[in-house]
Structure 1
Amino acid sequence: MTALATPPVTGRPAGSSPHLLRWLLRLHRPALLAWTVFVLVLGGLLLWVGGPLTEGAVEGWKQYHACETGGCAYDPSAVGRHKDWYMYTTFAVIGVPVLIAAWSGATLTSRELEHGTAQLAWTQSVSPARWLAAKLAVPAVLVAVGSGLLVGLHHWAWSTGQGRLDSAKSWYDVGTYAANGPATAAMALAALVIGALFGLLKRNSLGSLVGSLCGTGLLWSVMAIATPHLWPTVTKFSSLKNDVPQGSGIIVDQGLVTSTGAHVADPHCGGSGFASCQARYTELDAVGYYNDYHPQSHYWPLQLTATAIILAVTALLALAAFRLLRRQTGPSAPARKAAAV
């Protein structure tokens, strides 16, 4: 691998942390302002969804149920408006890691290496390792605070409709589950580091952008597949008189259980009250349904376990980024010695 040339250090004193922080904030001011506006606008929308929109939808459902016994009319627009804006804000919260990955991959490290501003910083008695640490630490704080706030507000907006709205999403709805928990905030931090790592690898904005988006998408997909298996499931057995296995939550596996206790695939025939279905179940020696799933009590164990894994992966990726930068720039000891002289 071709090493990045580290320009000779000038004789000026070592750059102070406040000076480096001001430089980073000035350099990324547009992104900082855009992120602040995004968080404020989306946060305001979530407050609107969980407040006035939810109350309006609750009243709309009350009118609907009142009309079930009479010939009155009701306005369904409040219910539809709540459903639409809940969906929009959910997608926006879920999309935070993608936005962070796109920005980080396109600008955080790659653009400065491409344009030479990183090398300029190294001439100001800022070592490559310290430069990268500052590049990651400052956005990480902003990303953690902003994404954490959005996730918390989304969870609140969702909870205000529970037990009050017939159209409220269940806790295990794919979008709701993702937007409600800290794993999405942890994924935003992972996206930041993935983008920085690809910026060091590719050293050009387009290649880093593509790589960071693909890397974030891969990690997200792996975690989505692995999450149901991060905690022991609950198994519920139910009668064949039901049309489907009983038990609601995140389904891991379900089917038929035989008289010997073996699990076989469910032919999805229906309840045993149908003669054809009863004959099919008799042929399979089925005596009931089984359902391996996660009830609502498993929500936080699943979320926190997934969050811990994502943060551990993020730490490993950050370590890989520092090791890669050291390989590219070489030992920084000579630079520190020159700075001292």
Structure 2
Amino acid sequence: MSALTLTAAPAGRPRQTRWLLRLHRPALYTWAVLWLALAALLLALDGPLLNAAAEGWRQVRNCGMTERCTYDQKAILRYKDYYNYATIALNVLPFLVAGWAGAALTGRELESGTARLAWTQATSPARWLAVRLAVPALGVTVCTGLLAWLHHRAWAAGQGRIDSAKDWYDRFTFHAGGPTLAAMALAGLAAGALAGLLLRRTLPALALGVLVAGGVRGLTELAMPHLWPAVTRLSTVDQGFLGKGLVVDQGMVTSSGAHVPPPPCDSNASCDAAYAHFTGRYNTYHPHSDLWGLQLTTAALTLAIAALLVTGCFLVLRRQTGTLRAARATA
């Protein structure tokens, strides 16, 4: 039996890949349709939708203060709505990947017994899991990477032409237009696979996979501003906070140079009295030049979490298959 297994192993991986693609053909078709729709929308946001909205904003800027203003409001609102739809959809993709991975990739196969059948046909559990993680991971990385690139192109093309364009540090725009999108999708894949292995049931694994993916997103949101050195600008009390970007911390400067939080006040008189004891303000933030530094460090953190989740997948599988072998040996 061991000789047969060793002989069949070299050809086993291509067969497993073909079987995996055939088994999840509906999900593959759905993903292809969704990807094409988002890609087409992002290309339109970088083309006709952008040009029409930019012309509308040009008309707004050319309007005089006393004359009646005529501009293409529909084009402006259409661009805004479609940009929001595309950006939100890209942010949701990692959760869809997590739900699918938990429900179908591992949970359903374990619940139906398909996985155990594969383990008895010259396929080790570790190889079975490796194929189920590697093949979707390749597709998810390529597809989400291309969508992130298209989104960043569309966003960059609107800067200076669309007055209502989102800032780079808008969280949905940030995660939709860089490598963090692919990293979060991979973390979602690993989270869903782990949920399926733990619960071995379709619907509970779907819910847990999405929940874990949400936890990864929340953790990266909290850590992101602190993963790259920020800039601090000082100003007088009357100047207000100087500098525009992703705010890390803001507050007041005392006469000794200490940085403290702004004091609470609820009226002009109380605010004047409270701020009279301070010598200035400080604003710690990330300017636009920190965009790719934050993108890369956040993606690295997310991939590290994904690696831990993948390690958890193999540890859980080894424990389960070890228990199964022990039960068979006892029987």
Bigger fraction of residues in helix: 2
Cα RMSD for the two superposed structures: 2.3
Does residue 90 (structure 1) correspond to residue 115 (structure 2)? The answer is no
Inter-partner Cα distance in structure 2 for 1:141 and 1:32: 13
Whether 2:154 is the aligned partner of 1:157: answer yes
Q: Distance in 2 between matches of 1:32 and 1:10?
A: 35
TM-score by length of 2: 0.91
1:39 to 17, 23, 35: 35
Deviates more, 1:85-94 or 1:207-216: 207-216
Paired letter, 1:328? Q
How far residue 310 of structure 1 moved from its aligned partner, in angstroms, is 1.1
How far does residue 239 in structure 1 lie from its aligned partner after superposition?
2.0
Distance 1:135 1:332 in 2: 20
1:241 pairs with one of 235, 238, 243: 238
Contact 1:254 1:291 in 2 (8 A): yes
1:313, 1:305 → 2: CA distance?
A: 13
Using the size of structure 1 for normalisation, the TM-score is 0.89
Change (3 A) 1:63 1:268: farther
The answer to which structure, 1 or 2, has the higher relative contact order (CA under 8 A, 6+ apart) is 1
Asked if 1:309 corresponds to 2:306, the answer is: no
Task: Show the counterpart of 1:280.
Answer: 274
Letter matched to residue 63 of structure 2: C
In 1, are the aligned partners of 2:53 and 2:72 still within 8 Å (CA)? Answer: no
Alignment partners' CA distance in 1, 2:48 and 2:151 = 15
Letter aligned with residue 185 of structure 2: A
Distance 1:74 1:237 in 2: 41
Shift of 1:292: 0.8
Identity of aligned residues (%): 52
Q: Which amino acid aligns with 2:17?
A: L
Matched, 1:327 2:327: no
With over 3 angstroms needed to count, the CA separation of the structure-2 counterparts of 1:331 and 1:133, relative to structure 1, is farther
Range with greater deviation from structure 2 (88-97 or 323-332): 323-332
Deviations 1:244-282 (A, max 9, x none): 311111111111111111122224779xxx776544322
> Which aligned pairs between 1:260-275 and structure 2 lie closer than 5 A?
260-267=256-263
Query: Residue 99 of structure 2: which of 83, 97, 102 is its match?
Result: 102
Letter in 2 for 1:236: R
Q: 2:219 — aligned with what?
A: 222
SS in 1 for 2:141: helix
What does residue 64 of structure 2 align with?
A: 68
In structure 2, do the counterparts of structure 1 residues 146 and 224 end up closer, same or farther at CA, with 3 Å as the change threshold? same
Gaps of 5+ in 1: 1-7, 334-341
SS in 2 for 1:235: strand
**How do 1:43-192 residues align onto structure 2 when only pairs under 5 Å count?**
43-69=39-65, 70-192=67-189
**Shift of the alpha carbon at 1:332?**
11
Shift of 1:331: 9.6
Q: Deviation at 1:232?
A: 1.9
State whether residues 241 and 282 of structure 2, in contact with CA within 8 Å, keep that contact through their aligned partners in structure 1: yes
Secondary structure in 1 matching 2:163:
coil
Name the CA distance, whole Å, in 1 between partners of 2:157 and 2:64: 25
SS at match of 1:259: coil
The corresponding residue for 1:4 is none
1:163-199 Cα distance to aligned partner (Å, 9 max, x none) = 1111111111121111112112101001101111111
CA distance 1:276–1:24, change in 2 (3 Å): closer
Asked if the contact 2:94/2:188 (under 8 Å) is kept, the reply is: yes
Offset of residue 28 of structure 1: 0.6
Q: Deviations over 1:21-73 (max 9, x none)?
A: 11111001111111111111101001111211111111001111222243342
C-alpha separation between the residues in 1 aligned to 2:248 and 2:264?
Answer: 17
For structure 2, the residue ranges without an aligned partner over 5 or more in a row are 326-331
- The alpha carbon displacement at 1:20 in A equals 1.4
Structure 1 distance, partners of 2:132, 2:186, is 13
